[in-house]
Amino acid sequence: MNTELPKTVSEPTLKRLPLYHHFLKELLQREQEAVSCTDIGEELNLDPTQVRKDLEAAGISGRPRIGYATAAVVDGIERFLGWKKVSEAFLVGAGSMGSALLGYRKFEECGLKIVAAFDRDPAKVGRKIHGKHVLALDKLTDLAQRMHVLIGIITVPAVEAQAVADALVAGGVRAIWNFAPVRLRVPEHIIVHNEDLYCSLASLSQKLGQALEANPAEPVTARRLRTATLS
């Protein structure tokens, strides 16, 4: 296995790696020890070559005729994505979205441990949500500094997001996961990821609109699927 990692990996690749990870973990449970790009590609509707390129970018190599060792790929992806060493995060904004994220247990498997939540609302401060303490917002910068927290998650309304980002940066946070529909202004070395649901919705509804225009009354009846039963 090649341990040399390329300096930069493209965003699309980065977002596909968790898909492979998820699928391969399933295979591991079924005790399938090796897997080919072709198999992965078929399962996930991706080009096999692309899968191979992505794995290569993550520093993972396989063997001709054999494929990739499932466990090694899972391990390699986790290592490459930094899921091995858990980093602590603060979540700011204990509204509905914030609460939902606090309840996501699986984040910890991906190396993200939300250690505390912050909110402006005194009614929420002091309570616990999904087992995480909700603290007063004015403690944010100071605590981030003292606890050396490196990741901040912003789930406050748009108008407050910039101020929260400033507070996080002042506290030494290096990466921000922003759920507010605004572009944050931060120093260059801070990593910001925007999770803007309105943007996603936009592309969805635009495509739907076009599809409907092209084909208003889709003949779904012809290919009616069974009524699904939920296991």
Partner DNA sequence: TATGTATCGAGAATAATATATTGATATATA
Partner DNA sequence: TATATATCAATATATTATTCTCGATACATA
Q: Using CB under 7 A, list all residues that contact DNA.
A: 10-13, 36-39, 46-50, 52-53, 55-56, 61-68
What's the closest the beta carbon of residue 68 comes to a copy of itself, in angstroms? 19
Q: Which of DNA, a copy of itself, none sits in contact with 52, Cβ below 5 to 8 A by type?
A: DNA
Q: Which of DNA, a copy of itself, none sits in contact with 64, Cβ below 5 to 8 A by type?
A: DNA
Q: Which two tokens stand for residue 25?
A: 């973990």
Q: Which two tokens stand for residue 169?
A: 């940066």
Q: Which of DNA, a copy of itself, none sits in contact with 56, Cβ below 5 to 8 A by type?
A: DNA
- Among 64, 70, 63, residue whose Cα is nearest residue 43: 70
Sign of the dihedral through C-alpha 4, 42, 109, 186: positive
- For a copy of itself, the closer CB: 133 or 185: 185
Q: Which of DNA, a copy of itself, none sits in contact with 24, Cβ below 5 to 8 A by type?
A: none
User: What is the footprint of a copy of itself within residues 92-151 (CB under 8 A)?
Assistant: 95-97, 99-101, 103-104, 106-107, 110-112, 120, 130, 137-138, 141, 150-151
Conformation bin of residue 65: beta by default, left when phi > 0, alpha when psi is -120 to 50: left
Angle between helices 37-44 and 48-57 (to 10 degrees): 110
User: What is the footprint of a copy of itself within residues 4-63 (CB under 8 A)?
Assistant: 9, 11, 14-19, 22, 43-45
What's the closest the beta carbon of residue 183 comes to a copy of itself, in angstroms? 5
Percent composition of the chain: helix, strand, coil (DSSP 3-state, to 5) = 45, 15, 35
User: What is the footprint of a copy of itself within residues 159-218 (CB under 8 A)?
Assistant: 159-160, 163-164, 166-167, 169-170, 172, 174-175, 177, 181-183, 185, 187, 189, 191, 193, 195-209, 211-212, 215, 218
What's the closest the beta carbon of residue 193 comes to a copy of itself, in angstroms? 5
With H, G, I as helix, E, B as strand and everything else as coil, classify residue 136.
strand
What's the closest the beta carbon of residue 168 comes to DNA, in angstroms? 26
**Cα 225 from Cα 211, distance rounded (Å):** 20
What's the closest the beta carbon of residue 157 comes to DNA, in angstroms? 27
Buried-state track 129-167, b at ≥16 Cβ within 10 A, e below 16: beebebbebeebbebbeeeebbbbbbbbeeebbbebbeb
- For a copy of itself, the closer CB: 36 or 64: 36
Q: Which two tokens stand for residue 117?
A: 């939540």
